[in-house]
Structure 1
Amino acid sequence: MVDRLFSDRDLAALYDAVCAGRPDFAFYLPLVMSARSVLDVGCGTGDLLHQARAAGHPGRLCGLDPADGMLEQARRRTDVEWILGDLSTTHWDRAFDLVVMTGHAFQVLLEDEEVRGTFAAVRAALTDEGRFVFETRDPAARAWGEWTPDRAVEVVDATGAVVRVANEADPYDGGDRVSFTTRYTSPGWDGPRLSRSTLRFLGADEVTSFLAGAGLTVEAQYGDWLRQPLTGTGPEIITVAARGRGQEKGATRP
């Protein structure tokens, strides 16, 4: 089931404002611009592909997302291909030079079979020289410790109303999954709107093992958006993988 913050059209319309200033696009956008054909898995509001087309990308740009609320925002730009669904409902054969999963979309894959199926579908979609780039939060950084109401942000919706957005993580039980509630409140509403989410936190070795099982080879892994090495303390595990090629000299591992 798609989380309410993605499926609800009003909440989805707030997503880009809540994520304003996100640092990952400075990393991903040059990769997109250098690839002839790009698939953005879990594209959300499509902001990355919007920016690529606005910057003059001449080739195929395709966004895939299971949330119709998010795709309603994405479809404001019509010169990009938008598909409602996920990699279990679609299939491509060597169609894309680059596949990306941004915004920690990888972490919604909660079960091993979901990860295996996603990676197998990504490999099938890649051209022989294609690359797969995605990120997950390093569990060692314990990002959920900052998902507290006192770190709420305020954004303005399409009517000019101020909306307060706050996350509150459930008590951590020591596993690889963290659940949390996102609460949206606004003075003009009858009451708060709540969305429940669960994310999975896998380490670099686990990610690499799943990739290898799908026939994908790690070219590099980074610990932040400035391409610093993995340190084992986070905040990110950013992975560049290829379809069956050997690991390149200089690839960064823990």
Structure 2
Amino acid sequence: MFSDADAAALYDLLNPWDPERFPSDAFYDGLVRDADAVLDVGCGTGAMLHRARESGHTGRLVGIDPDRAALDRARRRSDVEWVLGVAADAAWDGEFDLATMVSHAFQCLVGDDELRASLAAVRTALRDGGRFAFETRHPQARAWESWETDPAAPVDDADDIVDPSGRVLRSSHHVESVVGDVVTFTETTTDKEHGTVLRVDRTSLRFLDVPTLADFLAEAGFAIEAQYGDWHRGPLTGTSREIVTVARRV
């Protein structure tokens, strides 16, 4: 068995939130520190808000996510508000200075209707002039082409994944389809010792280009305050792998 709780624990192990090590985490950490009230949409296990509180943030911190197992881990801290739901379920009205969607969570908004409803809910949750910060992989980098892995290929011991229980795992990916700007892939988690498939997760992500993203934001009532091609606030170029956006409610 490899439960949702196991997956959430493994995610924390493989993706520690550390602004001192990772430029992406540092980017968001600075924005969160400067905001009195923060809504993290797609908060997952809550690592970003945990770190903010541990670092002395005294304002309001709220996380919303549809994954119950992830929220169970997030709720290890009771001094942050945790809400079960998707972005479009956000029911706050003018309560936050900053909303975030980190770790490419924005790309999980696949359909036009879902994207519009989510942006509308985030905008409503923000105060006048409030900011929405998020990132999406730039489609020109075609990141999905590097995700395909052969589950039968030999793996160096240095690539072992050891879960919190000490079980040695391996993870492989298969891209099922690329239809327009939507990429669908599976992630298979296998017990390395026995070769037993423990879990298969199927995910679809949307890779919006810069003009289309700008159109959705404008339609929802956001103005783009800044847009970067990397986590050091470099410009968007023909080789950028990320579209890092800070939009303001207007």
Alignment TM-score > 0.5, same fold: yes
**Any unmatched runs of 5+ in structure 1?**
245-254
- Helix, strand or coil at the partner of 2:87: coil
State the match for 1:198 in structure 2. 204
User: Could you tell which deviates more after superposition, 145-154 or 68-77?
Assistant: 145-154
Pick one of 220, 223, 236 that aligns with 1:217: 223
Inter-partner Cα distance in structure 2 for 1:243 and 1:188 = 52
Inter-partner Cα distance in structure 2 for 1:76 and 1:23 = 26
Inter-partner Cα distance in structure 1 for 2:79 and 2:194 = 36
| Number of residue pairs the alignment of both structures matches | 238
Preserved contact between residue 169 and residue 181 of structure 1 (Cα < 8 Å):
yes
User: Could you tell which deviates more after superposition, 83-92 or 15-24?
Assistant: 15-24
State the match for 1:111 in structure 2. 111
Where does 1:168-187 land on structure 2 (aligned, <5 Å)?
Answer: 168-173=174-179, 175-186=180-191, 187=193
Pick one of 234, 242, 249 that aligns with 2:240: 234
Query: How large is the RMSD of aligned CA atoms in angstroms?
Result: 2.0
AA aligned opposite 2:187? T
| Gap change, CA 1:218 and 1:233, over 3 Å in 2 | same
Q: TM-score, normalised by structure 2?
A: 0.89
Inter-partner Cα distance in structure 2 for 1:94 and 1:231 = 34
Are 1:68 and 2:68 matched, yes or no?
Answer: yes
AA aligned opposite 1:70? A
Q: TM-score, normalised by structure 1?
A: 0.88
Are 1:33 and 2:33 matched, yes or no?
Answer: yes
Pick one of 156, 164, 170 that aligns with 1:158: 164
Inter-partner Cα distance in structure 2 for 1:66 and 1:74 = 12
- Helix, strand or coil at the partner of 2:197: coil
- Helix, strand or coil at the partner of 2:86: coil
Of all paired residues, the percent bearing the same amino acid is 52
AA aligned opposite 1:9? A
Inter-partner Cα distance in structure 2 for 1:180 and 1:22 = 26
Inter-partner Cα distance in structure 2 for 1:97 and 1:229 = 25
- Helix, strand or coil at the partner of 1:192: strand
Inter-partner Cα distance in structure 2 for 1:143 and 1:12 = 24
Q: For residue 225 of structure 1, report the CA deviation from its aligned partner.
A: 0.7
Inter-partner Cα distance in structure 2 for 1:107 and 1:184 = 22
What do the CA deviations read for 1:31-85 (whole angstroms, capped 9, x no partner)? 0011000000000011100110110000100000001011111111111110001
**Any unmatched runs of 5+ in structure 2?**
none
